Amino acid sequence: MNEQIQITESQINREEIRRLFHFNVFNKIVWGKPLTAEDRKIFVEWQNEFKPNMNLFNWYKNKRVLFQIVNTLKNNELCLDNNIRHLYSSKIEYLLKIIYFYKILEEPKTMYRGLAGFSHREAPPFNIQEKKKWQDEVWTGGENQFSKSINKYDFALDLDSEKFIDSYSDAKKLFKFFNKFKIHMAWHCSGRKGFHCLVPYEEFKDLVEPFNEDYAVTFCQSLMLDLVKYLNLKKVDTTIYSATRFIKCDFTIDKRSNRVIYPLNSEEFLSFEKNFEKYMSIDYVLSQKDLGYIEIFRERKSNPDGMKKMIEFLEEKIK
């Protein structure tokens, strides 16, 4: 019995150290405020207790990085790993609470961005039981605010193979084809062997509105199948087409590879095979002078007319 009490007390002390670190120290570091002697003591205690990955700490302490993540997510869903869903992070303050509550610095998790966007959202409760109740009664069941609040659905392609070179081969085919029509697209390596491409809903909304969740998903799935057929793509994941699916979130760290999910400009994409480690390294991304204001589509400007012409071209070729 005494041993059980001691374990419980130890766990309480451990959580108190973590709480003090995040709210008394980490917030100050993010916002560039000076640390007191007591703050530094808490910092050391946190490091000794949790032995965190300090590269991860150095990444997420940077407010330019946090702003990039918030700006990438906007009103879309934030997911952690494959089982923590429906998080909302439209402000750095919200993201800092998520980093604390879900122990991202102590127990690294990969962050994902949902493909569905929402007209309005409320932040879910952090307490696990309250969040489950909220999901069951308000968000995904009962009132079903999840479907009622969706007002857009982005087009994504997930190119994944056992070998990086195979995924990259398909990615280059798509990249060159999209470039012919000047498509507004974002590209990033998913961490190890795959590539993700994203085209925002605004580029093709005139072809699917008035918005309907099922029709938008079907439209994107059909476009994927046409691209697979016309370009003879071999490594496309055809299962991601539903309103609840997601892709890696740009400017976050993939927990398996410890690489940055970095949105590539055209030069970086075309030279990616020779610069894989460089472009996904923390040092390289932190060295970008415009970090904090990098738009994931980079220099590729909005061009809805290009998307329309590309779809017309595919429809003509695949009759």
Mean pLDDT of 211-225: 97
For residues 136 and 183, membership in a common domain is answered with yes
pTM of the model: 0.93
For residues 35 and 109, membership in a common domain is answered with no
- Domain count across the chain: 2
pLDDT at 7 over 70: no
Each residue's pLDDT tens digit, 252-282: 999 999 999 999 999 999 999 999 999 999 9
8 Å CB contact between 281 and 268: no
pLDDT at 6 over 70: no
State which amino acid sits at residue 306: G
Question: Residue 176 belongs to a domain with what CATH number?
Answer: 3.30.70.3300
- pLDDT at position 162 is 83
For residues 13 and 60, membership in a common domain is answered with no
Each residue's pLDDT tens digit, 26-37: 999 999 999 999
Determine how many CB atoms are found less than 10 A away from the CB of residue 11: 10
Confidence category of residue 8, pLDDT binned at 50, 70, 90: low
8 Å CB contact between 241 and 224: yes
Mean pLDDT of 64-80: 96
In 3D space, the residue among 18, 98, 11, 76 whose CA is nearest the CA of residue 296 turns out to be 76
Mean pLDDT of 229-233: 96
Domain boundary among 9, 31, 51: 51
In angstroms, how far is CA 288 from the centroid of its own chain?
Answer: 19
For residues 19 and 107, membership in a common domain is answered with no
For residues 117 and 127, membership in a common domain is answered with yes
| Percentage with pLDDT > 70 across the chain | 96
- pLDDT at position 121 is 83
- Which range marks the domain in which residue 10 is found? 1-51
For residues 183 and 68, membership in a common domain is answered with yes
Confidence category of residue 1, pLDDT binned at 50, 70, 90: very low
pLDDT at 12 over 80: no
For residues 135 and 283, membership in a common domain is answered with yes
For residues 75 and 7, membership in a common domain is answered with no
Instruction: Compute φ and ψ for 250, nearest 5 degrees.
Output: -60, 145
For residues 133 and 153, membership in a common domain is answered with yes
For residues 118 and 180, membership in a common domain is answered with yes
> Which residue(s) pair with 195 in the sheet?
159, 189
For residues 6 and 128, membership in a common domain is answered with no
For residues 68 and 211, membership in a common domain is answered with yes
Confidence category of residue 301, pLDDT binned at 50, 70, 90: very high
| Percentage with pLDDT > 90 across the chain | 88
Confidence category of residue 4, pLDDT binned at 50, 70, 90: very low
On average, the pLDDT of the chain sits at 93
Domain boundary among 31, 51, 71: 51
Determine how many CB atoms are found less than 10 A away from the CB of residue 243: 16
Instruction: Compute φ and ψ for 104, nearest 5 degrees.
Output: -70, -35
8 Å CB contact between 195 and 159: yes
- For the chain, strand residue ranges (E) read 78-80, 84-87, 111-114, 116-118, 150-153, 155-159, 186-189, 195-199, 246-248
Each residue's pLDDT tens digit, 117-171: 999 888 899 888 999 999 999 999 999 999 999 999 999 999 998 888 999 999 9
Secondary structure letter of residue 90 according to DSSP: S
- pLDDT at position 9 is 58
Each residue's pLDDT tens digit, 82-128: 889 999 999 999 999 999 999 999 999 999 999 999 998 888 998 88
